[in-house]
Amino acid sequence: MSKKTTETIINSKNEYVIGVKGNQKKLLNQAETILSKKENIKDISILRDKKSGRDETRKVSVSSVLGEISKEWKGLKSIIKVERMIKTNKKLTKETAYYISSLALDAESFNKCIRSHWSIENSLHYVKDVVFKEDASTIKSGNSAENFSIVRNIVINIFRKNGLKNTTQTIRLYSNNIHKLCKMTE
């Protein structure tokens, strides 16, 4: 996301929670520096999920100290650090992510908000990559990749609107029956 995007979001009277990516080196370094100092952290939340042999702990630290971060990140009120530790029977995985937000929430609210976003993101990405093989697609000319992605999103939304959660099975059952497909969009 860019500074212009945050401006557009704020100008449209909305709020944002945006992941800081590795290609935003300056912002990422500033967030890391601010949240590395205990005195800058105003709240911490630790949530734990344990199911199906997977133990996930998410620690969220929040700061309202903005330091040297550019004022061009319109509406910026919070910097968030999410530390995830996932333990399964076979391995331990640790990852850290940083976010910026126009919201001034407590750490537990950010923890739940970011977690719910990832569950939506992961379920959509899984369907698009595994079922529709989007990442392996060789379609690249012009806007064709974006157009096909939009079509995939429409198909997934139509299936979900009709209560069909197993996309692979739905494709098998409906792909050769144009009448059934048309009824889905009514």
pLDDT tens digit string along 60-71?
A: 999 999 988 988
Give the model's pLDDT for residue 149. Answer: 82
175, part of any domain: no
pLDDT tens digit string along 95-134?
A: 999 999 999 999 999 998 887 755 555 566 677 777 777 7
Domain extent for 70: 3-105
Which is more confident, 5 or 98? 98
Q: Could you tell me if 132 and 145 are in contact, meaning their C-beta atoms sit under 8 angstroms apart?
A: no
> What CA–CA distance (Å, rounded) separates 135 from 104?
36
Residue at 127: amino acid letter? V
> What CA–CA distance (Å, rounded) separates 27 from 142?
32
Q: What total number of domains does the chain contain?
A: 1
154, part of any domain: no
73, part of any domain: yes
Question: What average pLDDT does the segment 132-139 reach?
Answer: 78
- CA distances 2 to 9, 109, 124, 149, Å, are 11, 24, 23, 22
pTM of the shown model: 0.67
pLDDT at 35 over 70: yes
184, part of any domain: no
138, part of any domain: no
Among the listed residues 133, 128, 126, the one whose alpha carbon sits nearest the alpha carbon of residue 152: 128
168, part of any domain: no
78, part of any domain: yes
CATH of the domain at 44: 2.20.130.10
Q: Could you tell me if 144 and 180 are in contact, meaning their C-beta atoms sit under 8 angstroms apart?
A: no
116, part of any domain: no
Among the listed residues 161, 106, 114, 156, the one whose alpha carbon sits nearest the alpha carbon of residue 131: 156
Give the model's pLDDT for residue 99. Answer: 95
User: Count of CB atoms within 10 A of residue 73's CB?
Assistant: 22
